Amino acid sequence: MDKIQVTIMPENLQVEVEKGSTLLEAAQAAGISVKSSCGGQGTCGRCAVKILEGNVTGGEGNLSRAKREEGLILACTATVDNGPVTVEIPEASRLHEHQVLLDDDEEGLIRESQLDEEGTDDAPMVKKFQLTLAEPNMTENASDFSRLSTELKGNLDVEEITISYEALKTLPNKVREQDWKVTVTCLLKDDSAEVIRVEAGHVDTPPYGIALDIGTTTVVVALVDLASGKIVAQSGTFNRQATMGDDVISRIVYTEEEKDGLEKIQKVVIDCINELLDEVYEKQNIAAEDVSVMMVAANTTMIHLFLGIEPMYIRREPYIPGAAQYPVVKAKDLGINIIPDGEITSFPAVASYVGGDIVSGAMLTGIEKQEEIWLFIDIGTNGEMVLGNNEWLMCCACSAGPSFEGGGITFGMRAMDGAIEKINIDKDNDYRVSYATVGNASPVGICGSGLIDCLSKLRKAGVIDRQGKMQKVDTWRMREGDDGPEFVLASASESGIDQDIIISEADIQNLIRAKGAVYAGIRVMLNKMQLPIEVISKILIGGGFGNYLNLNDSIRIGLLPDMPAECYEFIGNSSLKGAYKALLSRNAFKHCIELGKSLTYLELSDGNEFYDEYVQAMFLPHTDMSLFPSVED
């Protein structure tokens, strides 16, 4: 196969790719992550690049006239066929490290009330024991493992003790190395324990576990000392699968259309996780062998891609996942860099669009133990919700679309440096816009919380009406753009990208659809139980960007129910925290298995009820203003 050299600017990075490769593939080969929300379909227009030297074939697709006039083409549809090419990848087309949701107060992560409820016989998934074995002689000549087992049974109340194949291999040497003193690491099961590591001598290193949250957008790991129960290091990054599509659907499409697509997309997330593991190991100065277990919380598609399970029927009616409960997998079988015999356990899912991340979060909230009715919402690409109490539990997922994560919005972006996250509009001062950005950088786009803020403030300033239509307000900021009316939030002179940052009427429609879907989902669940919205006594908001949500603005636009602030609780990355809790409490995980089974899943696309509620929610805040008494029109 002919190889063609591609030079990537401004780095001046050279990479050789096979003739016929796309520029997107060339960039990936060079280790540069290019935005590709549509997964290389030529439809999202995010991978714009500029050819500086040489020729490529194609490059067409969804790209504004202005950008085409600047000489930009799409990297995903442009192939290198005719000799060397030099290509510039603009800053705006690159994926950067994401502002990932990490908690600072690891000790406050778990709500005290739940920890207390677990029985005293509860245990973490792993324990280590320092043992001194009886030295054998001609009459006491039981095998090394038998003597180890006898000693362990004095410390552990289990019926059976087994040993992993790998640990057994070197057991005879380990027990003799330090005069019959050993430290063993045990995976605890119901009535048994499996020894997976034997260290010579009495070693003080605690057992470690990893809590892992694989989000569609971000991947976060927390390294947990299972003896003290503390998170000792965290690390997060964007999910590198983003270069294969922004949302779960385009990633599934990728696995279907790309040769060995499932293997490739699986490898990307596993590599990504292993890099995060290296980071936390370095922070804590430990080795991979010190980590025995990993608890994985992720949505159903992410778990399928992580485990390499065929995902294609998730996106096809009637939306059937391969499995909702997943086998425990040995680390060596997945290539995850913890001890090879270490176990990787995944939270059970409820359905194709309510995954283990929601089960993990719901377990964390303790919703199933309440007498009053609680609502747990995880807002991301989908708005997944759990409603109920100790008598009934219901869940659903409404396709909010990627708007809150920046998808489908002209200048939408994730919460990275330069993302506008707060906005104010001074109607009386020529609609002057003031804003705050992530990292206080010059603005380059708007992230989810900024968009909610923006919608609310545009409405308050009268720039848009209750349907989201732009009004003819008298300011230079209001103008006619390529796609209809638009409002300038930051001019090219103040922005970090030499362009005006605007929000268009079309963007606003996308946002209204997203917020309407979430609210409609809540209403449909309540309707099923014939309950009014006031019956909810507490709303817990989790998920990637929940923490950054402005409550007032969210209510004002009709995303969240109109309830007093004291009814709301922001619980951060509930998926990761649930995984953390399960590492420390085997009962908590067992509880999740039950929880997964007891959650009744409402398929919103089945019947007209959701659609009817959705149409009513397409106003700011809602058609039925009586639902939002605190919001003045």
Interacting residues toward a copy of itself by CB under 8 A: 136-139, 141-146, 162-165, 168-173, 176, 307-313, 317-327, 329, 333, 349, 351-352, 601, 603, 605-606
Distance of CA 108 to the CA centre of its chain: 21
The rounded radius of gyration (Å) of the Cα atoms in the chain is: 27
* Nearer to a copy of itself among residue 202 and residue 597 (C-beta): 597
State yes or no: cis peptide before 327, omega within 30 of 0.
Answer: no
* Nearer to a copy of itself among residue 162 and residue 552 (C-beta): 162
Closest C-alpha among 100, 109, 118, 563 to residue 377:
563
Q: Are strands 600-602 and 393-398 parallel, antiparallel or unpaired?
A: parallel
Closest C-alpha among 213, 227, 211 to residue 583:
211
State yes or no: cis peptide before 340, omega within 30 of 0.
Answer: no
* Nearer to a copy of itself among residue 128 and residue 174 (C-beta): 174
Gap between the Cα atoms of 633 and 629, Å rounded:
10
Closest C-alpha among 418, 459, 456, 422 to residue 438:
418
Distance of CA 281 to the CA centre of its chain: 22
Gap between the Cα atoms of 498 and 495, Å rounded:
6
- Is-contact 434 423, C-beta < 8 A? yes
- The CA angle 186-190-194, to the nearest 5 degrees, is 25
The first and second tokens of residue 601, run together, are 């899943």
Q: Closest separation between CB of residue 153 and a copy of itself, Å?
A: 14
The first and second tokens of residue 149, run together, are 């087992």
* Nearer to a copy of itself among residue 3 and residue 169 (C-beta): 169
Gap between the Cα atoms of 247 and 250, Å rounded:
6
* Nearer to a copy of itself among residue 330 and residue 581 (C-beta): 330
Q: Closest separation between CB of residue 300 and a copy of itself, Å?
A: 9
* Nearer to a copy of itself among residue 596 and residue 621 (C-beta): 596
Q: Closest separation between CB of residue 319 and a copy of itself, Å?
A: 6
Place of tokens 């290198």: 80
Q: Closest separation between CB of residue 396 and a copy of itself, Å?
A: 13
Q: Closest separation between CB of residue 271 and a copy of itself, Å?
A: 19
Q: Are strands 393-398 and 501-504 parallel, antiparallel or unpaired?
A: unpaired
Q: Closest separation between CB of residue 245 and a copy of itself, Å?
A: 19
Q: Closest separation between CB of residue 303 and a copy of itself, Å?
A: 11
Q: In what order do the strands lie in the sheet with 13-18?
A: 13-18, 3-9, 78-88, 48-58, 72-74
Q: Closest separation between CB of residue 35 and a copy of itself, Å?
A: 30
Count other Cβ atoms within 10 Å, centred on residue 75. 29
Q: Closest separation between CB of residue 322 and a copy of itself, Å?
A: 4
* Nearer to a copy of itself among residue 172 and residue 462 (C-beta): 172
Gap between the Cα atoms of 90 and 130, Å rounded:
56
* Nearer to a copy of itself among residue 165 and residue 476 (C-beta): 165
Distance of CA 61 to the CA centre of its chain: 29
Q: Closest separation between CB of residue 269 and a copy of itself, Å?
A: 15
* Nearer to a copy of itself among residue 423 and residue 525 (C-beta): 525
* Nearer to a copy of itself among residue 464 and residue 524 (C-beta): 524
